[in-house]
Amino acid sequence: MTSTPLRVALIGAGRIGTNHARILAERLPGVRLTAVADPVPGAAERLAGPFGARAVTDVHDVFADPDVDAVAITSSSVAHADLSVAAAEAGKAIFCEKPMAMTLAEADRVVEAVERAGVPLQVGFNRRFAADFVAAHDIVASGGIGTPHLLRSCTRDPGLADPGRVPAWTIFTQTLIHDFDLLNWMNPGARAVEVTAVADALVAPDFKHGGLIDTAVVTIRYDNGAIATADASFSAAYGYDVRGEVFGSAGMVTIGDPQQLTVRHYASPGLTAPTMRADTELLDAAYVAEFAAFRDAVRDGTPPAVGPRDAREALRIALGCIESVEAGGTVRLAS
């Protein structure tokens, strides 16, 4: 705690940027939030002010600032790759929200840029830092379930506020990409080779013509024979539901529970219990842990636990899903 703090500039003052700014500013010893950059007039100011950080509208001011050690990219997804490349070229350590890129070509550009610059890049796959998933991974990695045969992951969000504003394929590139990374992580050393996605607009069918997909099931075949499924829905009536399962030759590990607390209420109709209503209830500690891991990786010069090549692997599956839905069947994944 006595060493020089890591000075981080946040790029993108939206919903997730607001969440991350608070963590960087208030919950991480050894980290200082020095600047918030956002092109929208007032947005950077509003977020930076209470934390005593500098507000910036031109992101290049951040890259040019010698007092910025690292950037946290929480801008619109389409800008992630370009900003990552620019940050790498400026020699900044990079925390980049998922997805790191929207195409494999973009992802390759980021990989090359950070490797050339020799800067660390950590991707915002927060489940890798959630205690439950970490414990499950430890069991898998130590052989506790043998060789993985069947894997599952699901993400169901509590609601779809404005279906007309959801970009096409969001369910794959923004939502299920978390599950794809998780499945890759839980099947160590294996690589996805084939994908089948079945998807529809069941929550908001009126928006299907505009490209909305709000419900999806994905089957992934890995080169070690393991078969994984992932599903997502944009509207879980009961709240927020993220669960995982890895079944292998020697056992199974399951992770997650839609229940929020240990409270159980037994009354005349039976048992009732509260469910989680927001992802932050599930992931609050994980958000802190992922930035602590980033801080430590930068400080120690060690590679981040989840880097640009991992991001490319998850993206590869997401893009395969889009292709599968368009083709109406199973597709081999590009390497």
147 is a site residue for a copy of itself (CB under 8 A): yes
CA distances from 281 to 18, 206, 256 (A): 16, 31, 12
Show Cβ contacts of residue 51 under 8 Å, excluding neighbours closer than 6 positions: 21, 22, 25, 26, 33
* Contacts of a copy of itself in 189-218 (CB under 8 A): 194, 196, 198-200, 202-203, 205, 215-217
Question: Which C-beta is closer to a copy of itself: that of 189 or that of 301?
Answer: 189
Is there binding between residue 299 and a copy of itself (CB under 8 A)?
no
Helix (H, G, I), strand (E, B) or coil at 121: strand
Q: Interface residues for a copy of itself in 49-78 (CB under 8 A)?
A: 50
Question: Could you tell me the smallest distance in angstroms from the CB atom of residue 79 to a copy of itself?
Answer: 29
131 phi and psi angles, rounded to 5 deg:
-55, -40
* Residue 150 is a binding residue for a copy of itself (CB under 8 A): yes
Shortest Å distance, C-beta 212 to a copy of itself: 13
* Distance separating alpha carbons of residues 97 and 99, to the nearest angstrom: 6
Specify whether the backbone of 141 is left (phi greater than 0), alpha (psi in -120 to 50) or beta. Answer: alpha
Alpha carbons 247 and 253: distance in angstroms, whole number: 7
Options 116, 165, 191, 264; binder of a copy of itself; rule CB under 8 A = 264
User: Counting contacts by CB under 8 A, is residue 45 touching a copy of itself?
Assistant: no
Cβ 328 to a copy of itself shortest distance, Å: 7
Is there binding between residue 266 and a copy of itself (CB under 8 A)?
yes
Which structure tokens are listed for 194? 């084939």
Q: Write each residue from 83 to 122 as x if it is in contact with a copy of itself (CB under 8 A), else as -, in one continuous string.
A: ----------------------------------------
Rounded Cα–Cα distance for residues 246 and 252 (Å): 5
Which of 66, 161, 162, 271: binder of a copy of itself (CB under 8 A)?
271
